[in-house]
Amino acid sequence: MNRFENTQSFYKDRLNKKISGVCAGIANGHNFPVWATRLATLLLFFVFPVPVLIGYFVAAMILPAKYY
């Protein structure tokens, strides 16, 4: 019998955080390396600073925290 697991892919990882845990949570939810997610966020910040700051701030406020 197949079992469906309801897992969220967008959350804040409070144990592996550097600033608020947004990048670590997204990386863990999608099985990406955390360093690659942080590097991509940093590169996007240099190209589009205002949208990335707004998006990161909104994600830090809205995403649920996960402690594990």
Residue 17 or 3, more confident: 17
CB distance 59 to 22 below 8 Å: yes
pLDDT tens per residue across span 6-65: 556 777 777 778 888 888 888 888 888 999 999 999 999 999 999 999 999 998 899 888
| pLDDT for res 52 | 94
| pLDDT for res 36 | 94
CB distance 28 to 13 below 8 Å: yes
| pLDDT for res 1 | 46
Which residue type occupies 16? Answer: N
